[in-house]
A = this chain, B = another copy of it.
Amino acid sequence: MSRLWEKGLPLDARVLRYTAGEDHFLDDRLVAADVRGSIAHAEMLAAQGYLDTDDCQSIAEGLKQLLADHEAGKWQIRLEDEDVHTALETRLTELIGEAGGRVHLGRSRNDQVLTALRLYLRDATAEVGEHVAALCDAMQELADRQGDIDLPGTTHMQHAMPSTVALWSGGFTEAFTDAIEGLVAARRRIDKNPLGSGAGYGTPGLDLDREATTRKLEFAATQSPVTAVQLSRGKAEAGLLFELSLLMQDLGRLSTDLLLFYTQEYRYIELAPEVTTGSSIMPQKRNPDVLELVRGAAGTVQACLSECLLIMAKLPSGFQRDLQRIKAPVFRAIDLTIESVDIMAYLVSTVNFLPDNIRLGDELYATEEAYKLVASEGIPFREAYRRIAEQLQK
């Protein structure tokens, strides 16, 4: 965000800034997940005899305290902390003493990061789903309110056959419902426990119980062999970004429809004043900025998917630091999607169709007429079609 090169920093500080990047900002949202993962790890260590019960308890309590303090705004991750993991470990050791250093046994930052990230992604995926469900409700409410109004059904943007607000709205509701199912399906790759894979080659010399943390953290499976973990990094993220991209594309297409309906030439709908904005030089205008910004946001989210795939591409197996750069587009896409879904649900609730402005010509019924001719006279459709076409051209 700020421009580092202007700051005349000493060189070492620049290296820190470059390598830590935005992590101290970004990782704020990972505190709860990292605390959860660390407690599960400590409890497993204790069960395996690598940590005594008192230490385990003080680690768990200390971490919970730090989480509560963080949520209360009492501390933040600083650049010097580099990331959420170091920030927590440092503060834990300050809080409970030497035992704080024992939680990292049998764990690398590589599997720790991924554990926190997947726990977070699981929650975020569910959260996006809930917001989309509210959007479905808004579409349904619109259908309940004005579903009977006739609309021209179009192909190639040309009037084709009769449709209704209910049918139009129902198409999008199916799309959003499908998006929710897609989000659920995206959990498949999220739901693999990386904990215990260490830096990617396991923890030789220690007898860890990976299944125990899988159960504690409610993962569906333990990812194995250990070398699979770092190789898979970015895939769960990409899977979520793909689903968000499709979802945002539907929001973009809904925006396109509504922007069309809102033109003076169509004026099929009106929008509430609070979701439109004024112009700085044209007194008379009410602009549908929200819809345009949603349409643009779909481009941003799709670019986040590209960014994630680009970062992973062609890397040798084993952890590579490049993978750290995946967090930013993932968080950017999640936030922007939720904001866009919310604002769209609100906007949809203010849409008012204006039936007086919507006209369906007789020609829209041509196919139906041809079908009736087939049913009544038993002639082939092509012949019925030709006959109706002739009538219409008269």
Contact = CB atoms under 8 A, between A and B. Distances in A.
Interface stretch (A32-40, A60-68, A209-217, A287-295): A287-295
A18 B290 contact: yes
Contacts of A315: 253, 256
A235 interface: yes
A265 interface: yes
Contacts of A107: 281
A313 B249 contact: yes
Contacts of A4: 335, 338-339, 342
- A-B complex: 7 closest residue pairs judged by Cβ atoms: A283-B389, A171-B227, A299-B310, A296-B322, A303-B307, A174-B228, A292-B321
Contact of A342 (B5, B311, B322): B5
Nearest to A188: B185
Given A101-B383, A171-B230, 7 more contacts: A153-B200, A154-B318, A156-B292, A175-B232, A263-B266, A264-B361, A310-B310
B155 A260 contact: no
A287 B252 contact: no
A91 interface: no
Tell me the dominant secondary structure on chain A's binding face.
Answer: helix
A309 B249 contact: yes
A206 interface: yes
A300 interface: yes
A356 to B, nearest CB: 14
Interface in A1-23: 1, 3-5, 11-12, 14-15, 17-19, 21
Contact of A316 (B188, B256, B312, B325): B256
Given A199-B279, A206-B375, A296-B325, A316 B157 contact: yes
Contacts of A199: 153, 155, 160-161, 279, 281-282, 367
Interface string A219-241: 00001111110111001001100
Interface in A342-392: 342-343, 346, 361, 363, 366-372, 374-375, 380-383, 385-386, 388-389, 392
Contacts of A185: 185, 188
A311 B299 contact: yes
Given A19-B293, A303-B310, A259 B157 contact: yes
B288 A367 contact: no
6 contacts: A158-B285, A199-B367, A283-B367, A292-B320, A299-B313, A303-B304
